[in-house]
Chain A
């Protein structure tokens, strides 16, 4: 019993650190949707800074720790958010993962570089290598007590517990009892809705990143005595704590925190009681990763609609429609030059380096398949490489010929890939990435520890292949063979992408449900893809190992796989030849840097890591950056018809020029508004002036136009009902009105002022509210919290409760558990209390019982009487016409008819719906 208590108590020490890191992960993830692989690196940086400032500069421990945790680490988080995370939140998931992997290596290198510079400048810094038993915040060496028999604690452990408890309490107060915390939780619950309420999610994201970094800093400072100054260990620690974040589904801070604590205890219990696994080498080492993997798979199964990865359509091909010579000419030329160079200009050293680059390029091509084609991030490619090479080496040691051994090795890697993929396929995005990472660590720690497979530290010899007169033992011959092999593989992969199977894959990644509906098996397609990619990695791995002439089990670790992914994605995964470029760059650039640029080993690593910054701007990688930008510019020029022209003219346009823009609509709309163009001279605050005005608005998504010049005016105290069939562009119009979508052309005015370039936040602050389709509430927050977000004053909330006793009775209930009608009431109630200038309601009656619909419309009428301008968007006309002042029909992105309600009749409605309306 004493054992058990001791295990639990001391397990809480690492548990506390896991909890801190996991909490930070959840905070940053929920703020910007980014799994921060570099979170452990932040902790390491703080540990390094603490060590140098405390031990080197002699600063006192506690103030230094406070400075780092409260100022420096949050500052770092803020800076990174501004510089990169904010931008990354808008690009694809792969680029996000890769950018933070880049940081994972760049941040520690940057820290060490600073230490190096300080040392050169004569500052009293201490070397950061080979440092053990570092002092923490408390006494060093730690004081220990034995309160119970067999249960010992020391001062470092005690400090960790207390600091963690304080941090937890502080977080709890912040999240539960402050306005900032409420907003943060709202943003976690529904980021888009937060913005619609006029709360800047970007600023919240900065705050979350500062908090997250602060927690990482705290973990770093606390872990200094335990982990020392090993960036590697901090990163491993982070991966383990990712398990806790997964338990909290990257959304729940309390669950993640408790999960972290539990994880530490569990790990300790396994260490204490797992004697059953003594026979399995590496089992105990692998425990955290077993838990991580199991957690991911189990949680994914419990989640609804977890069958496949999120839809992730491929980017536009900038070379679409180009001739063969244009697509391939330059690459063929480059390949021929490279092949020729081996026998003419390159020195033996550079021949070797180029050959190495080509060999690793083969491995990199496997990323083109799994990540480029399949949009899945695999962090286990290094595992396939090691697996294939070890198997091939094992067979060759038994006298197998190279080709046969390579074939079996490739097959083994493919098999391993299938095994890895089977449980992981139901996961998508970062869950898949984490699962493959966990499996990669499991393979490193258990599979590749098998004595008969790894052959100790000696590994296996893999001689270069010799076929008849061709001896690849010569680097140049090997290089040439690899050029040709790369060419063949590039051609094969390009053909594959265009084949029936490649199209099936593109369908699966773009729209999994649609693909499944049209008879493409999502699971089989993905499994096949993963298997092919693993086999390709294995094949490249055998050749790479034969370049080295030996494979040992530690040559390519899970961490190597992380770096590889970053290198490949930085170059681009759209076309297989980019992988070859990535391989060559990976081999050549470090040598060039060392020879011509810098002696410092840290600088190249920092530069490599900062490639993540470039990804934020060019998510397709540097190979495609220039041509795709050029293609985009050309496309923009080609499409430079009226929308962009209007857009360019619009900001300059003022009152007098506007009649020109009223092209598509009936004159009655602008005519009815009358005053609208004439507001240029005043603030336009008079009640009769237009509250919201759209003039010639063009809008669409990624080159697919939806609205083709829409004009709308609605005044305060007026209800405009917008009708239209499915697909007419109603929701797009709502998004434009709310500032969620910036129009490609035309003007948006709020109370007469130009609001075209607003973000959703500024639009909301101008008084324009969008009640989005579905319910505009934060399902995870209680009724009280939902109201508090919009009505900070208690008297306002009391007034709401007085008006709606149903809400008052359940104020602490989560809003998501209310009925649809109650949710809609909850969404409208605060607006009644503080009426906005404009309310745009997207299908407010959708899915509500008729009685409730009446109630909702009564409330909307009341809102109109308060002077709010209402735009009600409905598909069905029946009930809503009852409260309309003006009616507009939207069909195929244009206003087909508009006018006062009195002029609406059955024929007009039918015409509008059938698209045969009064278009001129």
Chain B
């Protein structure tokens, strides 16, 4: 054995012995009141703000701040003010996501993390192991199962053996005047996620009574096609009798949808077009997007900004105050942050004056309320499935209008 190896092997043996002595005591059992003092609760957030893809969720932070500001203005939770540290930027990078979670817990010693909204959640395992209540956008599987992680509108990733949320098929059935004899074409990106989306929605639409003659995950997922005719041609011939289907449903991101929908319309397609991502009033600011998305039915899993419920009025008022009086256009990331904060506050309020992780968890199991911006909330059900509520809005003449009002639908078994 060469000399350096010998030295290292020796120290390996020596140090591991000392390591195991301390390892047992080293496991940092978090103090039961980490981040909670007599009059404050420390909360942090993780949001992807800067990214190389040009996609940002940074307004999530603003939404959460707006909700916490109101809570503090109303006197806090059981007498404790929320000390919101603002959101860490994870840049859509798993390593930074985990580092952000560690920083919030170990450095800043927060009681909870809310909001957590990103495309990656590498910090999930750490946060759960450290018993950090975390609320965020449940688009990732990590929000489905772990005891301390909660999706603000439930867990949005169906698991086989679990249930499937029927908001979209039922909503479209309402738009088309029933599902009987109606056909739907489903299209998604050519990757595993797209394939999974096709699988779930095919089952959902069929269960709702639709025919699904075209369901393919075929669009190149990393380089957007400059030309969509290859896809539109096949879709437009897929309906009954070689004609066009009654509805085209895209499970893709906004830039893809713009291309696809423009191509569909240019080919003379007159049916219903729908997608789940393009509810962003910012899109109305540009003529190209306004035209591409005109007439499109967009699925949302929260109350549309256009609805006039007391909760929505409150939301708008809170958002207006947060940035210091300046008018900011609403978007769904604000609502994500706002409702993540709201779920945390609601459970924390229920946990009572003696706020600990245990009391929070106890309050969460069996928590339920109704009539919120995301419908009827119930835990721990929400750690297994979506709250199952949604609406369809339609973009018409440069404005979104509610096509199918917000309501909750019973889920179906997914397998």
The interface of chain A, by Cβ under 8 A from chain B, is: 3, 6-7, 10-11, 13-14, 17, 105, 108, 112, 128-135, 140-142, 144, 146, 150, 152, 154, 157, 225-233, 235-237, 240, 264, 268, 271-272, 278, 281-285, 287-288, 324, 328, 332, 336, 339, 343, 347-349, 352-353, 356, 360, 441, 445, 449-451, 454, 456-458, 461, 468-474, 476-477, 480-481, 484, 487-488, 490-492, 494-495, 548-550, 552-555, 559, 587, 590-591, 601-602
List the A residue with the shortest CB-CB distance to B22.
A343
A476 is contacted by which of B22, B49, B103, B292 (Cβ under 8 Å)? B22
> Contact between B224 and A481 (Cβ–Cβ < 8 Å)?
no
Which of B75-83, B88-96, B349-357 lies at the interface? B88-96
Residues of chain B contacted by A6 (CB below 8 angstroms) = 229
B415 CB to nearest A CB, Å:
15
Inter-subunit contact B125/A484 (CB<8 Å): no
Give Cα A324–Cα B58 distance, bound, in whole angstroms: 53
| Contact between chains at B8 and A488 (CB < 8 Å) | yes
Instruction: For B291, list chain A residues within 8 Å (CB).
Output: 141
Complex: how many Å from CA A129 to CA B220? 22
Q: Beyond A230-B52, A474-B27, is A237–B223 a contact (Cβ under 8 Å)? A: yes
User: Least Cβ distance of A12 to chain B in Å?
Assistant: 9
**Chain B residue contacts of A140, Cβ below 8 A:** 286-288
Expressed in whole angstroms, the Cα–Cα distance for A281 and B196 within the complex equals: 11
Whether A471 and B24, one on each chain, are in contact in the complex, defined by CB atoms closer than 8 angstroms, is yes
CB distance from A50 to the nearest CB of B (A): 14
Given A132-B289, A282-B191, the answer on whether A591 and B99 have CB atoms closer than 8 Å is yes
Q: Is the CB of A152 within 8 A of B219?
A: no
Q: 3 closest pairs, A vs B, by CB? A: A10-B227, A133-B289, A129-B56
Per-residue CB contact flags for chain B residues 188-227 toward chain A (1 = under 8 Å, else 0) read 0111110110000000000000000000111111111111
A918 to nearest B CB, angstroms? 54
B16 and chain A: residue at smallest CB distance: A470
Residue of A nearest to B195 (CB): A281
In chain A, what residue has the closest Cβ to B124?
A550
B residues 1-51 in Cβ contact with A at 8 Å: 2-5, 7-9, 11-12, 15-16, 18-20, 22-24, 26-28, 49-51
Q: Are B19 and A555 in contact (CB under 8 A)?
A: no
Partner of B106, one of A349, A457, A473: A349
Contact A549 B125 (CB under 8 A): yes
Decide if A133 touches B191 in the complex (CB within 8 Å): no
Give the distance in Å from the alpha carbon of A718 to the alpha carbon of B231 in the complex: 77
A237 and B225 alpha carbons, distance in the complex (Å): 11
**Contacts A229-B54, A477-B26 given: A134-B192 contact, CB under 8 Å?**
no
Residues of B within 8 A of A559 (CB): 52
**Contact (Cβ within 8 A) A141 B287:** yes
Q: Which residue of A lies closest to B54 (CB)?
A: A230
B5 and A236 contact, CB distance less than 8 A: no
Interface residues in B109-153 by Cβ distance below 8 A to A read 120, 122, 124-126, 129, 140-142
* Distance between Cα atoms of A474 and B50 in the complex (Å): 32
Taking a contact as CB atoms under 8 Å apart, the answer to whether A445 and B221 are in contact is: yes
Known: A271-B231, A449-B191. A144 touches B288 (CB 8 A): no
Once A555-B94, A601-B91 are accepted as A-B contacts, the answer to whether A135 and B287 lie under 8 Å apart by CB is: yes
Chain B residues within 8 Å of A141, by CB: 262, 287-288, 290-292
Q: Which A residue's beta carbon lies closest to that of B107?
A: A349
B73 at the interface (CB under 8 A from A): no
Is there a chain A Cβ closer than 8 Å to B258's Cβ?
Answer: yes
Q: Which B residues touch A458, using CB under 8 A?
A: 141-142
Which chain A residue shows the least CB distance to B217?
Answer: A281
User: Contacts of B172 on A, CB cut-off 8 Å?
Assistant: none
Q: Does B161 contact A (CB under 8 A)?
A: no
Known: A7-B229, A491-B4, A555-B122. 6 other contacts (CB 8 A): A17-B226, A227-B255, A264-B226, A268-B225, A457-B157, A481-B19
Do residues B58 and A233 form an inter-chain contact, with CB atoms below 8 A? no
Of residues B52, B91, B255, which shows the largest number of chain A Cβ atoms within 10 Å of its Cβ? B52
- Using CB atoms and an 8 Å cutoff, list the residues of chain B in contact with chain A: 2-5, 7-9, 11-12, 15-16, 18-20, 22-24, 26-28, 49-56, 58, 89, 91, 94-96, 98-99, 102-103, 106-107, 120, 122, 124-126, 129, 140-142, 157, 189-193, 195-196, 216-227, 229-231, 233, 254-255, 258, 262, 266-267, 280, 282-283, 286-292
Nearest-CB distance from B286 to chain A (Å)? 5
User: For the complex, what is the distance from the CA of A450 to the CA of B192, rounded to whole Å?
Assistant: 7
Whether A135 touches B266, Cβ cut-off 8 Å, given contacts A268-B230, A281-B190, is no
The answer to whether B95 touches A133 (Cβ under 8 A) is no
Taken together as a complex, chains A and B put the C-alpha atoms of A481 and B286 apart, in Å, by 55
Offer 15 A-B interface pairs, CB within 8 angstroms, sorted by A.
Answer: A10-B226, A132-B255, A141-B287, A226-B226, A230-B52, A230-B55, A231-B54, A268-B227, A271-B230, A285-B190, A352-B106, A356-B99, A477-B20, A549-B125, A553-B192
Q: Is the pair A228, B54 in contact by a Cβ cutoff of 8 Å? A: yes
B98 CB contacts on chain A under 8 angstroms:
356, 548
Query: Which residue from chain A places its CB closest to the CB of B219 in the assembled complex?
Result: A284
Q: Could you say which residues of chain B place their CB within 8 Å of the CB of A552?
A: 94, 120, 122
Q: Chain B interface secondary structure, helix, strand, loop or mixed?
A: helix
**Do A456 and B4 have beta carbons less than 8 Å apart?**
no
CA separation between A228 and B286, bound complex, in Å? 12
CB-CB nearest in chain A for B291: A141
Kindly report which residue of chain A lies nearest to residue B141, judged by CB atoms: A458
Task: Give every chain B residue within 8 A of A494 (Cβ-Cβ).
Answer: 4
B288 touches A461 (CB 8 A): no
Q: A133–B292 contact, CB under 8 A?
A: yes
Rounded to whole Å, the gap between the CB of B266 and the closest CB of chain A is 5
Contacts known (A141-B292, A228-B54); A554 close to B224, Cβ less than 8 A: no
Contact with B54, one of A128, A240, A349 (Cβ below 8 angstroms): A128
Q: Note all chain B residues with C-beta closer than 8 A to A491.
A: 2, 4-5, 8
B2, B190, B254, B280 pick with most chain A CB within 10 angstroms: B190
Residues of A near B267 (CB, < 8 A) are 152
> Given the complex, which residues of B lie within 8 Å of A7, measured CB to CB?
227, 229-230
Across the interface, which residues of B come within 8 angstroms of A133, CB to CB?
258, 283, 286-289, 292
Q: Which residues of B lie under 8 Å from residue A336 when comparing CB positions?
A: 11
In this complex, what residue of B is CB-closest to A601? B50
Check if A474 sits within 8 Å of B23, measured CB to CB. Answer: yes
Cβ distance A223 to chain B, nearest Cβ, rounded Å: 9
CA distance A146 to B219 in the complex (A): 24
The complex places the Cα of A479 from the Cα of B106 at a distance, in Å, of 16
Q: How far is the CA of A487 from the CA of B58 in the complex (A)?
A: 42
**Could you tell me if B19 and A495 are in contact, using CB atoms closer than 8 angstroms?**
no
Docked Cα-Cα span, A7 to B5, in Å, equals: 62
Report the Cα distance A240→B27, complex, angstroms. 49
Task: Check A476/B55 contact, CB under 8 A, given A281-B190, A591-B99.
Answer: no
Q: How far is the CA of A477 from the CA of B15 in the complex (A)?
A: 9
CA distance A471 to B49 in the complex (A): 36
CA distance A435 to B196 in the complex (A): 30
- Max chain A C-beta neighbours (<10 A), residue from B141, B229, B291: B229
Distance between B90 CB and nearest chain A CB, rounded to angstroms: 10
In the complex the two chains form, is B226's CB within 8 Å of A13's CB? yes
Q: Are A347 and B53 in contact, with the CB atoms below 8 A? A: no
Question: B51 — which chain A residues lie within 8 A by C-beta?
Answer: 129, 232
Q: Is the CB of B50 within 8 A of A602?
A: yes
Is B5 in contact with A287, judged by CB distance below 8 angstroms? Answer: no
* Chain B residues with CB under 8 A of A601: 49-50, 89, 91
> How far, in Å, is A499 (CB) from chain B's closest CB?
10
Q: Knowing A353-B102, A445-B191, A449-B192 touch, does A474 contact B26 (C-beta < 8 A)? A: yes
B105 to chain A, nearest CB (A): 8
Q: Which residue in chain B gives the minimum CB-CB distance to A157?
A: B226
B125 contacts across to A, CB distance below 8 A: 461, 548-550
Contacts of B18 in A (CB 8 A): 343
Determine if B3 and A324 form an interchain contact, defined as CB atoms under 8 angstroms apart.
Answer: yes
Assess whether B27 is in contact with A347, with CB atoms less than 8 Å apart.
no
Complex CA distance for A154 and B231, rounded to whole angstroms: 17
Please judge, given known A-B contacts A471-B23, A491-B4, A601-B49, whether A457 and B193 are in contact too, CB under 8 Å.
yes
Q: Which residues of A contact B95 (CB under 8 A)?
A: 356, 360, 587
Assess the A283–B8 pair: CB atoms within 8 A.
no
